[in-house]
Structure 1
Amino acid sequence: MKIRFKYRPVLLLAMVACFTAIAIGNFQRSRAEQKQNAFDRIEGARYDAPIQVGAALVDAAILDKHPANARGHWLADRTVLIDNKVHNGVAGYHVITPLRIEGTSLCILVNRGWIAAPRLRSELPTLPAVRESRVDVIGIAHSPSGKVFELAPDHSKGRVWQHLALDRFREWSGLTLQPIILLQTDEVHDGLVRDWRPSESGALKHWGFAIVWYLAAAAAAAGGLVASMERRKPDE
C-alpha cells in the first residue's frame, strides 16, 4: 500500500491553527520570561542601598521596585484606607498616609501596611498613631500604573477608598506628590502588617500555558498531515 499526500482544505485550516497556536505559545513564553525577569529584579533590588527621596521629583520608572527612604513629617489627617485588601484570608485595609518631605512642600504617599477590618463593615479599624516629630521612613518604591478597572466611578470623599490613584489623591488632598508610593518596610511595631514580597513570580503559570499551546500546535500539524494522507494499493 502506497501513501501519498494530497492537498485538501483541511490541511490549510490545520496549518493556520498550528501557526496560531505557536504564536500564542510564544506570547505566553514571553510573558513568563518577563515576569521572571521582573521578579528577579525585585529580589535583587532589595539588597541595594536605599535611594533618598528629597525635594526634587524622582523618575518613577527608574526608582520603581528599588529601596528608598524619605525624611519628613506625617500628615495623619490625610490618611485614607484602601478597601478589599486580604492578608492570609482575612479582609482588611491598606493604610495610606502622606509624608511631607523635610525642607519642601512636596509629599510622598506611604503605604504603612495592612490592618484587619472590624466584623461590621460600618465600623472602621482603630489606626495606630504616628509620631508628630520628624521621621525617617524606609521602604520599597512602587510606581502605580494609573490604570484601574472600575465597575462604577469611585467617588472617594471619605477615608475609605476602593483603590489608590495618585491623581485622585492629589486632587482630593491638595498636596503636591512624588510620582511614587513608598511601601514601608522598616519595623515600627505599630501592629500593621508589611508583607510586600511576592510569593512567586507567576512565570510558572505562563510556562504551563505555553506548553499547552505548543502541544496544540503539534496536534494541529499532525492532524492536518493525517487528514491529507491518501492510501492506495500498489496496482492503483
Structure 2
Amino acid sequence: MNILSSLLRNRIIPTIAMVVVMSIGIGAGLWQMSRAAGKIEKAEKLASQIALPPLDLNTKPQWTLAEADNRRLVVEGAFLVDQAIWLDNRPQPGAPATKAGSGQSGFYVLMPFRLAGMENTVIWVQRGWGPRNREDRLALPPINTPSGALRIEGVGIAQPDRVFELGDGGAGGNSPVRIQQNLDLTKEAERHRWQQIPFVLKQIGDAENDGLMRNWTAAASGVERHYAYAFQWFALALSAFLFWLIHGLLRIRQTTKR
C-alpha cells in the first residue's frame, strides 16, 4: 500500500496519462462487447421470428412492417421484369471477410412483384446478388426471371442495406437500365402510382436457378470481430497499467539505491 501511495503521489502526470488510456481502453472494450451482445440478441430474435409459420401476403391487401418484420413470407403473383432496379456497390453476400477493397462488388437485384388477385398491388422483392463487370459498369450480369404465376418465399425487411450516395444516387433517370445506390419505397410508389406494400421481401431459396446468389449474411455475423476488438482494447488498458506500475517501481528502486 505504501509503494502504491508513493507511485500515485510522486508521479501525478504519468498517473493521469495511465488513467486516461485505461478509461479509453476499458470503455471501448465494453462498447465492442455490447455490440456483440446486441448482434446475438438480434440473431436470437430473428431465429424465433423465422420459426413462426409464414405469412401469406395474398390473404389481405394491407400489411404493415410491424406485422412482417423478420417474418417468413410467401406470396403468389408475377415479377414486373421491366421495372427492375439494380442497387450498385453491394458486397457478395456470405463472402468471407477480406482486406478492404479486395472483395467482389456487385448488385442487389430489386424487382416489383404483382400479387395475384390484386391487380394494382405490388411488393418489392430483393431477389439476390449478381457480380459487377469490372470493366463496364452498365454491363449487367445475366439472370433468369421466371415468367407467369409464381409462388416465392422470403423474409420481410424494412429496406435493403443502404450505402452512401451523392445526390439522388442515380435514381429517377430515363435510362432503361436503372442502376442506383438505394431504394426509396416512397418515391417508387409515387413514380408508379400503384398500391405498394410498405416493406421489402428478401427472397430466400435457390430452387429457381436464376443466376443470383441469396446466401444472405446471418444477423450475428461479425460477433467474433467485436470480441477480437474488445480483447485488443482491454489489452491496451492492461498494458497501460502494467507500464505505469513497472516503470514506477523501477524509478523507486533507482531512487532507493541512491
TM-score range, shorter chain: 0.7 to 0.9
Aligned to 1:213: 233
Q: CA deviation at 1:205?
A: 0.7
2:70 partner SS = coil
Aligned to 2:183: 164
**Which structure 2 residues correspond to residues 62-77 of structure 1 after superposition, within 5 A?**
63-77=68-82
Aligned to 1:98: 112
Match for residue 179 of structure 1 among 198, 219, 229:
198
**Structure 1: gaps of 5 or more residues:** none
2:87 partner SS = strand
Q: Which amino acid aligns with 1:72?
A: G
Aligned to 2:7: 5
Q: Deviations over 1:1-33 (max 9, x none)?
A: x84434222212211221221111100010111
The 1:152–1:214 alpha-carbon spacing in structure 2 relative to 1, beyond 3 Å, is: same
Q: In percent, how many aligned pairs have the same letter? A: 25
Pair 1:36-2:40 in alignment: yes
Q: Which has the higher helix share?
A: 2
Q: CA deviation at 1:214?
A: 1.0
CA RMSD of aligned residues (A): 3.2
Aligned to 2:164: 149
Q: TM-score, normalised by structure 2?
A: 0.73
Structure 2 Cα separation of the partners of residues 223 and 75 of structure 1? 65
Q: Which amino acid aligns with 1:64?
A: D
Q: Does 1 or 2 have the higher relative contact order (CA < 8 Å, sep 6+)?
A: 1
Q: Which has the higher strand share?
A: 1
Aligned to 1:48: 52
1:179 partner SS = strand
Structure 2 Cα separation of the partners of residues 113 and 67 of structure 1? 16
Q: Deviations over 1:124-143 (max 9, x none)?
A: 4454243333x322112222
Pair 1:59-2:78 in alignment: no
Match for residue 107 of structure 1 among 117, 122, 128:
122
Q: CA deviation at 1:39?
A: 3.0
Which range moves more in the overlay, 138-147 or 7-16?
A: 138-147
Structure 1 Cα separation of the partners of residues 162 and 204 of structure 2? 25
2:111 partner SS = strand
**Structure 2: gaps of 5 or more residues:** 96-102
1:5 partner SS = helix
Match for residue 146 of structure 2 among 119, 125, 130:
130
Structure 1 Cα separation of the partners of residues 237 and 139 of structure 2? 54
| Count, aligned residues | 232
The 1:64–1:199 alpha-carbon spacing in structure 2 relative to 1, beyond 3 Å, is: closer
Aligned to 2:89: 84
